[in-house]
Amino acid sequence: MKNIYDLTQRELEEYFALNGDKKFKAVQVYEWLYKKRISKFDEMRNVSKLTIEQLKQDFTIKRIKIIDKREDTDVVKYLFNLDDNNKIEAVLMLHDYGNSLCISTQVGCNMGCHFCESGRLKKIRNLEAYEMVVQLLQVEEDLNLRISHIVLMGIGEPFDNYNNVIKFLEIVNNNKGIDIGSRHITISTCGLVPKIKQFADYDKQVNLAISLHAPNNEIRNKIMEINKAYPLEKLIPAIKEYIDKTNRRVTFEYIMLKDINDTRECAKELSELLRGINCYVNLIPYNETSHIEFRKSSKDTILAFYDELKKNQINVTIRREFGSKVKAACGQLRSNYKED
């Protein structure tokens, strides 16, 4: 039976039309689901009993179960159990500009980034749109707060689950529903060039972030398997094409790995690679895990890297460190749960 949270407003309108009913009922149901946050169809007060019984017959309204929750300063990490007993994660980060939720898009990941815990446990399946939606609903209900920003940077590669991710965006962006603005949503990709080109034609102003993590193919090949399929000679032109089409700035994520990609020479090379591109670089202190040998760069090294980029007129920030005490890096909590 299909989950009601998997339907866009348009799909719900089509459902009612096929059942010989009025399309406006889709708006009523959407508002009960996402504005008033009902947990049972019977809680809808301005919808006929006949319609409610039809919805109960055709859809489930189930969410997913929180099985672990860990808190640290300005961060809460959740482990969820899905209907098929697979596990996914979401991480809430409290910023001065709002509450940002990092959402998973797949169970596991096949991209093979060597520094990432998510990829250590291979992809089992894609998440359906509703399984992304209910991550947000569960966190908001658990903490009694409003999530203002979404980043698709949790377990999985969003562009490897493109259609379900786009459907998820339609649901959370809908002003009759969850109503999170496009500019408050960011999708991160490790560099699936065909999907970057496809996303350039998407008609909403959702932000794009590229997990770059290296200034050249030699280093990137060693730490990111995707670079062997889509090296920088393919990736960078695709990003420039995306910027030309959308007139939107791109973020380059750059995890600082000790003695791997953090030298001043790497910073100079990165500056040259990105020169003239409408972008900014987000330097990320690595969140270490016991399962992977990489270590994070020292604060002095990160600052020297930052200074070199600034000197070369590259817009750059250093991301705050979140949740090292609660295993907040992608896939850590799930990985430990499976191995305990």
Give the Cα separation of 135 and 304 in Å (integer).
Answer: 38
> Which is the catalytic residue, given 13, 89, 117, 131?
89
For 205-257, what is the HEC assignment? CCEEEEECCCCCHHHHHHHECHHHHCCHHHHHHHHHHHHHHHCCCEEEEEEEE
Q: Which residues of 24-38 are buried (b: 16+ CB within 10 A; e: fewer)?
A: ebbbbbbebbbeeeb
Is the CB of residue 126 less than 8 Å from the CB of residue 167?
no
**Residue 182 backbone phi and psi in degrees, to 5:** -55, -40
Q: What's the start-to-end Cα distance of the chain, in Å? A: 33
Identify whether 128 is a catalytic site residue.
no
* DSSP letter string, 245-302: HH---EEEEEEEBTTTT-SHHHHHHHHHHHTT-SEEEEEEE----TTS---BPPHHHH
Is the CB of residue 164 less than 8 Å from the CB of residue 132?
yes
Identify whether 308 is a catalytic site residue.
no
Is the CB of residue 249 less than 8 Å from the CB of residue 278?
yes
Strand-strand pairing, 75-81 and 250-256: unpaired
> Which is the catalytic residue, given 128, 265, 330, 339?
330
Picking from 22, 71, 72, the residue whose alpha carbon sits closest to that of residue 48 is 22
Is the CB of residue 231 less than 8 Å from the CB of residue 272?
no
Which residues carry out catalysis?
89, 330
